[in-house]
Structure 1
Amino acid sequence: MSRFHVSITPEPDSYTSASNKGSQFHSSGLPYATTNPNSHLNMSSSHNKYSVLLPTYNERDNLPIIIWLLTKTFEENKLDYEIIIIDDNSPDGTLEIAKQLQKVYGENHIVLRPRAGKLGLGTAYIHGIQNATGNFIIIMDADMSHHPKAIPQFILKQKERDYDIVTGTRYISGGGVYGWDLRRKLTSRGANFIADLLLNPGVSDLTGSFRLYKKDVLHHIINATVSKGYVFQMEMMVRAKQFNYSVAEIPITFVDRVYGESKLGANEIVGYLKGLWTLFNSV
């Protein structure tokens, strides 16, 4: 029997005490964790460690903010963590900012693994995994498009059924996108629609990049992934289905970057379509 299945968790609007309304349930019939999301999540007894892989290129303005939000989230929830910054020789001085942040937060929490130049997202993840000491890997963008406050929900969802992967989605109830114009929204929707039609991956947001993986699962998938650029994230979900890994989804809100410029352009869109066709013919 295939292990691949997708579970979707709607984002609850509120939590009610068991004494008033009894257990709260997901639409799947599974109970929500009894932990109030406004209280600290004490998961230290589970002995899990979470390694965040943060590839950067020209993110000097965003990096201090995202690092502060990440450390705040992990420490408030009593989670063991490290943040691995993989900078690809940013000309804006991102690495120098990272070095200053390492002095503030400590080398045990901020790990610097720079590279000589822009070598691609896939190799950045491989480089990060090789240096990660956690048994779980979180991948996300460094430009604050992904808010770290969602991380505890990723972790709680993973624990429900020991999922191999939990992926964030903008396209279910509770998720959304802010700051995009109509063209960008149509591009994203169109990319996901075409990919779903051709590949049937079983997830609603193929082009998203906010995910939680078991470390060995991510290592296996990345080693099998051949795509470059924006197709890379999509292929990882296709490979997850190919290898029968279990996948769950949670809603996330994607916010367009405040500082810096988007790295999505016409060349990336053309590359995406070419990569999609190649993947369709090879998987």
Structure 2
Amino acid sequence: MPRTTPTQARRLWTLLEPVHAVTYFSPEPLSELKAAGYRGFWMGYFAGRAAPLGPVNAEVVRAAFYNFAPDHVARALPDAWAFAPPQSALDARRTGSAAALRRQLGVIGDDPTVALAADLAAKAARSAPLDGRVLFAANRSLPEPDDPVERLWHAATLLREHRGDGHVAALVTAGVGGRESHVLHALAAGTGRDVYELARTMQEVEWTALLDGLRDRGLVDGPGGLTDAGRELKDRVEQLTDELAAPAYDVLGGEEVDALVDALRPITRAVIAAGDIPSRSPMGLDLDQV
């Protein structure tokens, strides 16, 4: 059986990431988390994404999520578990995310293509390498839904967190801290600091300090752009991330990988066209290129 290439793994990420990301941006999961008892967007975010790990504290989440400011996480955890337990967060994000997808997909939600995408993505997620992938492993321990739309969201989440665990490993290997990774990506992609101020509480003083640190390492030039060494480092991180993500799809083989890409394409485009997911975010994904 031929191995999945890093290029194929990246293509699948671009198609699966928006399907997963409805859980952060669509009104249905946000309303479900609020109804469960969580207060404010960020308490719901940290509770929902961390819930597969159990009632963990801020330190565990900081380590697993990698790029959030310590005080940002600490404002939500472990207090969130006093408002509602992890199971409530799991139920809210699953049902809310599936409801969002059904709205976004409209008439194609009942198409056999959705079930095919769910089946193939779930097959990959069930067989993806587990070692060293703590957040992925926590999500994979959850029951696999029977409903095709719920199963598609669940599988997209598993494969997204599998890739994310690998991305953290690639950053650690490259000596790039979680907060540094925001600056490195912003400079590579042309994303403004305002995106990270809103989504990652990145104030100007911290941004400047991180930029100076990258400059001291020869990764950023005087005017504040990436040097050749900075671009090479960023490219190595992305390449290693793709290489670490690729084995998740090896169980599918070439024809099934192609079938998954073809099945996901109209689904992902419908999700993006719904407009819930912002075009500028820390996800690192250019929605215009999907």
With normalisation by structure 1, the TM-score equals 0.26
* Greater share of residues in helix: 2
* Greater share of residues in strand: 1
Quick one: higher RCO (CA 8 Å, sep 6+), 1 or 2?
2
With normalisation by structure 2, the TM-score equals 0.26
